[in-house]
């Protein structure tokens, strides 16, 4: 089986082609700046030169067509016939409260995704457009939705409900949903393997720290709380998102500064976080450079991010309880941000968390799962490179052949000790993007 996975962002399409029979990544790429006057494509197949190209992609429809063209390219592509693709996995950011697991996409399922578009106005429309374009180009294959929100559907109502008028929940679906589900699923299963415990007996606090960032409390192998809320805006300090704030700030600024709802929404999502504090940077490397130069705004930004992560680790350690097995860091900053990890963990010895600063400093490679806790730390601390694509791929395979079960009943290939990410073996970059910001950490790791 050849599986194509598509991750359509608001202005991008990330994709990967996977040979399931040989458990091998054949190629991966990204189309960026979709909707702008000129779009960029970067794509690399195993054993071939990288393809870098430009052309206009007014919508995701044109971008998906370009994706298909690249994987079939006689010089750069990884397959020779589009009919070799047997199934397509699509990342869907928001599934509302209807979907508790990955699902085959039918007309009825697609209609449900459209109903919850207002809950993720930046992400779901792009996700849906990608689905429609891919279904049009590949109408005879199975298309599957892998939902960010599905992982968190195990949260109890005490965690997912807000202390708001109940009618808002009944009529408008206002509740906590959580995101980064595929990343949390992957890293929780890998952490269980590293701990030598069954996944359903593993207790963790996972910190997915990238441009978007969230924390998740995992008890007995399932999500019981998470920092992102109804949208990806709540929780940790992020690249350009505010994270937690006093909600009264919004009506205050509307009155004091005459800001509209759309202006407030844009400010919280696109002009806040590290960018808001520094006025310049979303990239943690730029912030680190500023810290090294003694720049007060960068020092404040880094300290605020560290403090918020520390707060959530402490809160979720309390939620998980004394059986806490490990803290896990993942995603671009989680994997490469040694100073941020150290800052968040120092001083938590009273919770049984003791970081080894030398190990932490050395844990700067995307190719290795690393333990950075001290030998006498009661709670382990792991750095685990995430692999959301393999979750999307395997769910798609299982749905296609009728073997799919929820993650609580299903054993993934990456839960096996022998699992090796062949994308890394083959030298395929995990993220081909070169856009400014956090992604530079991934594309060009520090030496």
| Annotation: binding site for substrate | 91
Annotated binding site: 7, 14, 91, 208-212, 283-285, 388
Residue 163 CB burial class (10 angstroms; 0-12, 13-18, ≥19):
exposed
141 φ/ψ sector (left φ>0, alpha ψ -120 to 50, else beta): beta
The rounded distance, in Å, linking the Cα atoms of 121 and 10 is: 9
The rounded distance, in Å, linking the Cα atoms of 19 and 17 is: 7
Residue tagged active-site, from 19, 40, 148, 325: 148
Maximum C-alpha span of the chain:
61
387 carries an active-site annotation? no
When computed from its CA atoms, the radius of gyration of the chain, rounded to whole angstroms, is: 21
State how far the alpha carbon of 101 is from the alpha carbons of 41, 148, 405, in Å.
31, 10, 8
**Count of Cβ atoms closer than 10 Å to residue 428 Cβ:** 21
Annotated binding site for Mg(2+): 7, 388
The rounded distance, in Å, linking the Cα atoms of 287 and 252 is: 30
Helix spans in 227-346 (H): 249-257, 261-270, 273-278, 284-292, 296-320, 331-336, 338-345
Place of tokens 């996977």: 18
**Count of Cβ atoms closer than 10 Å to residue 30 Cβ:** 24
**Count of Cβ atoms closer than 10 Å to residue 200 Cβ:** 12
The rounded distance, in Å, linking the Cα atoms of 313 and 324 is: 11
3-state SS, residue 224 = strand
The rounded distance, in Å, linking the Cα atoms of 236 and 312 is: 8
Sheet holding 2-8, edge to edge: 50-55, 39-45, 24-32, 12-19, 2-8, 85-92, 142-147, 103-104
Paired strand residues for 27: 17, 45
135: phi then psi, degrees, rounded to nearest 5: -65, -35
Residues with catalytic annotation?
Answer: 148
């Amino acid at each position: 089986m050849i599986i194509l996975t598509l991750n359509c962002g608001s202005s991008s399409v990330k994709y990967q082609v996977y040979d399931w029979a040989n458990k091998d990544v054949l190629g991966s790429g990204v189309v960026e700046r979709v909707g702008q006057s000129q779009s960029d494509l970067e794509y690399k197949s195993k054993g071939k030169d990288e393809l870098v190209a430009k052309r206009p992609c007014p919508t995701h429809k044109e971008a998906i067509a370009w994706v298909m063209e690249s994987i079939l390219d006689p010089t750069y592509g990884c397959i020779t016939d589009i009919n070799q693709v047997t199934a397509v996995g699509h990342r869907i950011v928001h599934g509302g409260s209807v979907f508790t697991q990955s699902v085959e996409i039918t007309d009825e399922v697609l209609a449900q995704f459209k109903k919850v578009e207002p809950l993720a106005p930046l992400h779901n429309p792009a996700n849906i457009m990608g689905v429609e374009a891919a279904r049009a180009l590949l109408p005879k294959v199975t298309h599957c939705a892998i939902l960010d929100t599905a992982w968190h559907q195990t949260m109890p109502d005490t965690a997912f409900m807000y202390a708001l008028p109940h009618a808002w929940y009944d009529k408008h679906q206002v509740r906590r949903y959580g995101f980064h589900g595929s990343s949390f699923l992957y890293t929780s299963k890998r952490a269980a393997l590293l701990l030598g415990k069954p996944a359903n007996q593993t207790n963790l606090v996972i910190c997915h720290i990238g441009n978007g960032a969230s924390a998740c409390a995992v008890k007995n192998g399932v999500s019981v709380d998470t920092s992102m809320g109804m949208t990806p805006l709540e929780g940790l300090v992020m690249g350009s998102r505010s994270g937690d704030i006093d909600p009264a700030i919004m009506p205050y600024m509307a009155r004091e500064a005459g800001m509209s709802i759309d202006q407030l929404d844009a400010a919280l999502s696109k002009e806040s976080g590290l960018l808001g504090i520094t006025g310049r940077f979303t990239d943690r490397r730029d912030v680190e450079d500023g810290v090294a130069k003694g720049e007060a705004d960068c020092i404040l930004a880094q300290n605020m991010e560290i403090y918020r992560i520390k707060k959530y680790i402490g809160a979720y350690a309390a939620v998980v309880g004394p059986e806490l097995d490990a803290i896990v860091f993942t995603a671009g900053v989680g994997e490469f941000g040694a100073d941020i990890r150290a800052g968040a963990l120092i001083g938590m010895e009273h919770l049984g968390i003791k970081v080894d600063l030398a190990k932490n400093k050395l844990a700067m490679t995307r190719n290795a799962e690393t333990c950075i806790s001290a030998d006498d730390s009661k709670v382990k601390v792991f750095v685990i490179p995430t692999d959301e694509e393999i979750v999307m791929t395997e769910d798609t395979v299982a749905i296609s052949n009728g073997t799919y079960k929820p993650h609580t009943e299903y054993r993934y290939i990456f839960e096996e000790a022998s699992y090796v990410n062949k994308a890394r073996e083959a030298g395929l970059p995990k993220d081909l993007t070169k856009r400014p910001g956090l992604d530079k950490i991934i594309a060009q790791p520090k030496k």
